[in-house]
Chains A and B, each alone.
Chain A
Amino acid sequence: MTALQTTPGLPARGGRGGAASTGAVPPAAAARRPRRWRGQLTAWAFIAPVVIYLVLFYAYPLYRNIDLSLRAYTLRSFIDGTAPFVGLQNYFDVIQSSTFTPALINTAVFTGVSILFQFSIGMALAVFFFRNFRLAATLRALFLVPWLLPLLVSASVWAWMLNSESGVVNAVIEGLGLHQINWLTSPQWALVSVIIANIWIGIPFNLVIMYSGLQGIPGDLYEAAALDGANGWQTFWRVTFPLLRPVSAITILLGLVYTLKVFDIIWIMTQGGPVNASTTFAIWSYRLGFGGESPQLSPAAAVGNLLIVVAFIFGLVYIRVQQRVVRS
């Protein structure tokens, strides 16, 4: 929360926390800054649209969502606009529901396993591509493709590749003399399948950020390590890895926040099934609100709000870490 406590009037920091180029503006340069066109009024005239936007399209939907979770909204509520206030009843119902425990475990496993693999594969690739070889830049650019594709496209492709009878993955498995796996339709493989697809989608993001982290390490450190006779393995664990720690922390925390939200991939591939085998909080919330014939918007909002609390906790940690990194 330090960001909120900064005095806005201080020349070097006023209003621009976060961006690295903020830097420290020398006092002389700060004095030469253009003095304000009719001061704060002008500045806020420029900012007003975004503030109104944030209030109308972020704060208000969030407020409606919280309000929704504290009422019993039914189809009738849409017509006459009334819904009885029920306090925390929706939250109690959701927590006592038989879906709660599987959804909690699936969300934790999906997020944890996805991040673990995305991050380690992304870092390994970043280190590999950082070594200057022919075509390195082109190949690294091609690695971005999965990240740019619409999630719905990636999810459909994976759904077909993992199809039990006609999928290419099972064709290869059977070619190796093993039995086919019912990737998307068996309870023990559904979660694994969506995790595999999600790892594939997340690798480019981790690769790019870790690569930019590598670019920030001064080259003479490697020269010094080489002079001291360190081999590649030692150089990585003693020089590269420790210096990448701040960037790694940011990458992982951002990954957590993004992975908690993942919806498209799971919904397209398994719809959270079979039964609840791949249901996460995001899927559960969607299914309650929009998945069935009769929408249960109030419990759906309660599930969503539980998810947001978790996302916010990681989000605050991310902002703290990021500010520490920018400052150092």
Chain B
Amino acid sequence: MRNPRSWWKTAVGILLTGAMLFPIYWMINVSLTQPNELRKDPPNFFPVNPTFDGYSKVVGEQLPYLGTSLLVGLGTVLLTLAVSAPAAFALAKLRPRGGTALNFILLIAQMIPGIIMAMGFYLIFNSWGVLNTIPGLILADSTLAVPFAVLIFTAFMSGIPDELVSAARIDGASAWRTFRSIVLPISRNSVVTVSLFAFLWAWSDFIFASTLNRGGDLQPITIGIYRYIGNNTQDWNAIMATAVVASIPAAVLLVIAQRYVAAGVTAGAVKD
């Protein structure tokens, strides 16, 4: 299909991509702009006189927030995997009664608006005493990922040949052993996909953080940025530097796991 005349398509493609990514370029540009040049009109379109003050402020003021987000993200990944992978194995290979209904409920669960969950959690966490705690936030954030994770795992594990599972059974392996030693290792790719998304959603969460962890000692980076915006609306170069740092997981994800990301988006929606 590639022909010599396709260079102009490449040119158009680069132009479109450039336009699409302009806000990201702008975020980086502003994060490097001298504070006294932020209000310049017209603004500097290139970081002609770059400063790293914004980034040193991030290191000075935002590290605890970043640490909390990392912890919450990892906790969410572990909880999500622990709850969803075994269930998906059963749904895909053990044909439980009521499995179809469960699938249906999971699809519906994904559609509940976050604000509604946040309000319910607020009351429940208040009586359980886990408001403003990291375990509480992990629990809430995991609800963003669990239904998606079960659906992804089920779709993937359904593709594993039944012969493998029956061979293990004939060799005398228990169901748990089969799941742990055969099905889970084969499903490595879907484990990566689910982990990446669970981490990214927990890392990016703002609504649960701002409702369930508004007064805690340890707050995630989204709250860090939000506070920054509220407290010093003048200091946009530090705000944008924080935003750049908060985007790093997304960038890492895209570089090391691009194909998993595309697979995840598609599988989550159309499942094919």
Q: Is the CB of A46 within 8 A of B113?
A: no
Would you call B146 and A16 a contact (CB within 8 A)? no
CB proximity of B24 to chain A, nearest CB, Å: 6
User: What residues of A have a CB within 8 angstroms of the CB of B2 in the complex?
Assistant: 132-134
A301 to B116, CA, bound (A): 7
Residue among B100, B142, B203 facing the most chain A CB atoms (10 A cut-off) = B100
- Residues on B with C-beta less than 8 A from A254 are 269
Interface hits, A25-71 → B, CB 8 Å: 29, 32-37, 40, 42-44, 46-47, 49-51, 53-54, 57-58, 60-65, 68
Interface on chain B toward A: helix, strand, loop, or mixed SS? helix
Interface positions, chain B 1-31, Cβ under 8 Å from A, are 1-2, 6-7, 9-10, 12-14, 16-17, 20-21, 23-24, 26-27, 30
Q: How many A-B pairs fall under 8 Å by CB?
A: 366
A146 at the interface (CB under 8 A from B): yes
Tell me what chain A mostly uses at the interface: helix, strand, loop, or mixed: helix
| Cβ–Cβ contact A153 & B243, under 8 A | yes
Chain A minimum-CB-distance residue to B149: A50
B185 interface residue per 8 A CB criterion: no
- The residue of chain A having its C-beta at the shortest distance from the C-beta of B116 within the complex is A304
Contact with A along B97-129 (1 / 0, CB 8 A): 111111111111101111111111111101100
Query: CB distance B113 to A156 under 8 Å?
Result: no
Determine if B91 and A60 form an interchain contact, defined as CB atoms under 8 angstroms apart. Answer: no
| Interface check B130, CB cutoff 8 A | no
A35–B151 CA distance with the chains assembled, in angstroms: 23
**Beta-carbon contact of B96 and A47 below 8 Å:** yes
Contacts A43-B94, A305-B116 given; does A135 touch B10 at CB 8 Å = yes
> Does residue A18 face the partner (Cβ distance < 8 Å to B)?
yes
Interface residue count on the A side (C-beta < 8 Å): 119
Contact of B119 among A34, A42, A261, A297 (CB under 8 A): A297
Chain A proximity of B228: nearest CB distance (Å): 9
**A216: interface (CB < 8 Å):** yes
Question: Quick one: given A34-B165, A285-B115, are A20 and B95 in contact (CB under 8 Å)?
Answer: no
Whether the Cβ atoms of B27 and A157 lie closer than 8 Å is yes
Q: In the complex, A25→B226 CA distance in Å?
A: 52
> Closest chain A residue to B204 by CB distance?
A150
List 6 A-B residue pairs with CB atoms under 8 Å apart, sorted by A's residue number. A3-B100, A57-B121, A139-B13, A161-B26, A261-B113, A304-B113
The list of the 7 closest CB pairs from A to B, nearest first, reads A15-B99, A61-B120, A150-B204, A46-B90, A43-B96, A43-B94, A20-B272
- Seen from chain A, the residues whose Cβ lies within 8 Å of a Cβ on chain B are 3-4, 6, 8-9, 13-22, 29, 32-37, 40, 42-44, 46-47, 49-51, 53-54, 57-58, 60-65, 68, 78, 81, 125, 128-129, 131-136, 139, 141-154, 156-161, 165-166, 168, 171, 174-175, 200, 203, 205, 208-209, 212-213, 216, 247, 250-251, 254, 257, 260-261, 263-264, 267-268, 282, 285-286, 289-290, 297, 300-301, 304-305, 307-308, 311-312, 314-315, 319, 322, 325-326
